[in-house]
Structure 1
């Protein structure tokens, strides 16, 4: 697989040499634990091949254009809140600001060569990405109502980090607990080094004032993120875990249903409860270590996102000392009018569907809710 991707990308550069040791580990875990049907087996191979080709191509371009290395990435904004807390709508709204550079689905999926400013909205890879994401929607028609992704929508960081084979993405898409347990024990530093290289690649021919990025999985590795981007500005979103955990379990259940016929809803619920509780514990400890600096950390509650997301972001701009204007506000309001909540249907789920009990959620997340004043609505 590595040799085939190298030939296709016309490159032998992979960056970190340890990368080649990770591929057999994930392949073995998928074979042993994931119980994929034939579509799932095609999907995992396609995903790994695309990741390899992207990585080979990126480092080939980097070797040919060494001037892109080390170009500053100053004060990037990361949305790092818990899943199902309004992170996606805030990300989409931030993308409306002409000063904000967000990675779109097509350039994350097919990053080589780097996108050009003049052809950013007409690049031939956009059509290819629409086909790719359309296939996902066909296999799981309920997915857009839960979490919409698309060729020309802002794409979160997890698919970028997936190129390192040290990210949670494989463990989310496939039931491979041994691999996820191994990833959780590894240093995340190589992932964020690659993340920076990826952004340097994308920005080399098309950049704006600042990067705006998003992924809940950053909670798990917040220390590594801040080591790589010490001046990052972080937006934490909050919501009652009794709502987020079953919603997240429903999302994972749906995603895994694309690649296998044997998804155990209760196992998914237990797994997500504990993994995300550990991730929040880590993020809270990192914030405490950094002193919860007001100019670096902004908290936004889900209730505020629902009531007036533009006002919530206006407050974040003020804290981060980022320019705000009537034009920015009007662009965000226009996006909301054109994309009302529930546009793709309602997302329905229940605690009981995933073997979850309100009491254990309250106990496991009690410290988090108290620390950040999270309203309990269930």
Structure 2
């Protein structure tokens, strides 16, 4: 069970006076917006409209009486980062208009719920020669390509920053290690995702994002990738985020020709893992002893089961070859056969670099598994099976 560490307790005491600003979240948002634009670009009306629902996210968390001082500060930091991303990209496009012409050709999106093999699959495809995914340090300090010395400085800075996350919530180090110079999830660049509800209750924002069309958000993702690799565009970008699964038609509007690798697994483990991730996050955002585990269970089950059901229906709208299925049990049983077949379907030639990448991905030495159960969050396999009744795992490709 995640506990408040001594460092977190100290920070909560130091940051407690800042909780007073929750009384006026609109004023806080305006200050964040001002900070984001300062020295960068002034965002126009269309940009501000695309970001305006972040006000709702901020207000939802401001209304939570159980939010800690660290939680309120972190909420502001996360929203400021999304606003800053916009200003940075627009400034880069203004200073170097040719950035808008950088190729982003037929990217691959690895989609699937947590603990379904997404990370292994993502890393293998993203590390194939000529491919790449956005690195954690790049998304944490978005900008045009930097000289080597500055790049190393920013990587070291990000390494220190994310080491502190593990100190504040040690469970994060086992659930989702944050590695500064490794590929990370695309939601760090975009403005909107249901993942933000893992910080704590955000009912109005969840209602909004559940029915929102995020095409514009993915178009911005494309813009951000063009800035990150200006003049150094890879043959193919590779992206990953669980909530991309039920956004495939929106992604195709922003990235024509995109391919999706959908990883499948019996959903119980995915739901339990998602709940555990939310609990580990809320250990940093919510006052000690105030985390509602059953609420986490209800919300994560609704998000994941509802999203997968939506994805099943949306898949019928996609080109026949847009989605490639990977079954987790197959991947664990015979990873070499599965990934070789995946690469062949993607039109990729397997080589010595891929052999080394696969061996590294399968090396579990030093890995400390993180334990989680459905029952901790008021769920069981029967409830999960009922919620996922519309979802059928594809048949095994192994014989």
Post-superposition Cα deviations, 1:208-237, rounded to whole Å, max 9, x if no partner, equal 211011111112322201221231111000
Q: 1:259 to 1:11 in 2, by over 3 A?
A: same
Counterpart mapping for 1:46-85 below 5 A? 46-85=77-116
Distance 1:141 1:45, change over 3 A: same
Give the secondary-structure state (helix, strand or coil) at the position aligned to 1:30: helix
Matched residues in 1 for 2:333 and 2:301: separation?
27
Identify the residue that residue 363 of structure 1 maps to in structure 2.
386
Moved more, 308-317 or 146-155: 308-317
- Distance of 1:76 and 1:303 partners within structure 2: 26
Pairs aligned (count):
363
Q: Does the C-alpha gap of structure 1 residues 121 and 80 become closer, same or farther in structure 2, counting only changes over 3 Å?
A: farther
The CA distance in 1 between the partners of 2:48 and 2:151, in whole Å, is 35
Q: Which residue of 2 aligns with 1:153?
A: 182
Question: What is the TM-score normalised by the length of structure 1?
Answer: 0.89
- Equivalent residue, structure 1, for 2:162: 133
| SS of aligned partner of 2:237 | strand
Q: Distance in 1 between matches of 2:228 and 2:330?
A: 33
- Alignment equivalent of 1:336, drawn from 361, 365, 368: 361
- Between the aligned partners of 2:88 and 2:65, the Cα distance in structure 1 is 29
- Cα distance in 2 between the residues matched to 1:374 and 1:144: 32
How far does the alpha carbon of each residue in 1:241-282 deviate from its partner, in whole angstroms, 9 at most, with x for none?
Answer: 122111211111111111112211111111111111111111
Q: How much does 1:20 deviate?
A: 5.2
CA shift, 1:34, in A, is 6.6
Q: Is the 8 A contact 1:93 1:332 kept in 2?
A: yes
1:286–1:365 distance in 2 versus 1, CA, 3 Å: same
Question: What residue in structure 2 maps to residue 183 of structure 1?
Answer: 209
C-alpha RMSD of the superposition: 2.2
Other-structure match for 1:372: 394
Matched, 1:115 2:141: no
For residue 287 of structure 1, the aligned residue among 284, 301, 315 is 315
Q: 1:150 to 1:120 in 2, by over 3 A?
A: farther
Are the equivalent residues in 2 in contact too, given 1:34–1:174 (CA < 8 A)?
Answer: no
Cα distance in 1 for partners of 2:112, 2:180 equals 23
Deviations 1:3-26 (A, max 9, x none): 12222x432136623145334322
1:244 alignment counterpart: 270
Instruction: Measure the CA separation in 2 of the matches of 1:58 and 1:329.
Output: 33
Partner SS state of residue 368, structure 1: coil
CA distance in 1, matches of 2:54, 2:126: 34
The equivalent position to 1:207 in structure 2, one of 233, 256, 261, is: 233
SS at structure 2 position matched to 1:16:
helix
> Structure 1 residue aligned with 2:369, among 340, 346, 355?
346
Q: Which stretch of structure 1 is more off in the superposition, 236-245 or 298-307?
A: 298-307
Shift, 1:50, TM fit: 2.5
Say whether the 8 Å CA contact 1:173–1:256 is kept in structure 2.
yes
Any unmatched runs of 5+ in structure 2? 1-30
Matches within 5 A, 1:176-325: 176-261=202-287, 262-290=290-318, 293=320, 295-325=321-351
C-alpha distance 152-172 of structure 1, shift in aligned 2 (>3 A): same
